[in-house]
Amino acid sequence: MKLGILSCSPNCYSTRRLREAGEQRGHKIKILNTLKFAIDLDRGAPDLYFRRKHLSEYDAILPRIGASITYYGTAVVRQFEQMNVFSTNSSSGIVNSRDKLRSLQILSRHQIGIPRTTFVRDKRDVLPAIERVGGAPVIIKLLEGTQGIGVLLAETIKSAEAIVELLQSQNQNVLIQKFVAESKGRDIRAFVVGDQVVAAMRRVAQGQEFRSNVHRGGKTETVELSDEQRDTALRAAQIMGLRVAGVDMLEGHEGPQIMEINSSPGLEGIERCTQLDVAGAIIDHIAAHVDFPDSTCVSV
């Protein structure tokens, strides 16, 4: 199999591990800088150039599209799709997962558990919105935030109003979300590959920090998922059109609640925590699909 990994960071842990796992299995792996593509369009002939040369044929691609290049990156993935090249994640799935509001709208429609969330624009709607999600404390999120950046905890209604008003004055779109107190600064990352959860870990916030992201100093521990948690993670990834995804869930009294679905989940934290070959599982899934095509995802 000839696999192209779309990545602007060839030396980062995830890209290196994916290349290593592919080469260990005898596959031909190429790291392709996503921003070095040129997309050519003509009647009935979608085409790609890479570093000003016509791109050779690939059996599959594995997109590792950073949030800052979502538009161009998904355009490249879409072009591969037009050329009938297998992609682990669909272009629409990547786009939908990057928009926190859109992803929650999709999951809500499919009866997936999510924290109660509201999105408003008019200043007069902020207070009623906070009350509808259960009052203070409340979580305020930027739609485009990653790695815990742009996620704020407002302890009082007045501080929540002030934060939302400030962010909106800077033309930021924000979500107001119920604070799931019983999660106690913890969440679960379930790593989905195809129709399996191949690894899972619990992330625990440290000190006074309520965000459990590893980039915010959160600690990790192995966790055995319940059937409900496993099924929720699988359904969420498939509904979003993602064959490879990191599904972040809160452990709520009403069952698992999806916070976010990451279409380019990092491998370092989960491999070191679980000591599992997650990169190898991804490569094996791609190889199996290239040899025996099937359809495991629904693109919304």
Q: What gap in Å lies between CA 16 and CA 21, rounded to an integer?
A: 9
Class of domain 97-112+182-291 (CATH, top level): alpha beta
Domain assignments of the chain as residue spans, ordered by start: 2-89, 97-112+182-291, 117-179
How confident is the model at residue 298, as a pLDDT?
A: 39
Q: What is the pLDDT along the chain (300 residues), one digit of tens a residue?
A: 999 999 999 999 999 999 999 999 999 999 999 999 999 998 878 899 999 999 999 999 999 999 889 999 999 999 999 999 999 999 999 999 998 899 999 999 998 999 999 998 887 888 898 889 988 888 888 876 555 567 888 888 888 888 888 888 888 888 899 888 777 778 999 999 999 999 999 988 765 555 545 454 568 899 999 999 999 999 999 999 999 999 999 988 888 999 999 999 999 999 999 999 999 999 999 999 987 555 444 333
Helix (H, G, I), strand (E, B) or coil at 250: strand
- Put simply, whether the predicted model's pTM sits higher than 0.85 gets the answer yes
Q: Which fold has domain 117-179?
A: Dna Ligase; domain 1 (3.30.1490)
How confident is the model at residue 294, as a pLDDT?
A: 52
Token pair for residue 192? 């989905």
Residue with tokens 């005898």: 26
* Conformation bin of residue 224: beta by default, left when phi > 0, alpha when psi is -120 to 50: beta
Are 260 and 233 in contact by the 8 Å Cβ rule? The answer is no
Q: Do domains 2-89 and 97-112+182-291 have the same CATH topology?
A: no
How confident is the model at residue 244, as a pLDDT?
A: 98
How confident is the model at residue 296, as a pLDDT?
A: 44
CATH number of this structure's domain 2-89: 3.40.50.20
How confident is the model at residue 297, as a pLDDT?
A: 44
DSSP 214-250: GGGT-EEEE-PPPHHHHHHHHHHHHHTTBSEEEEEEE
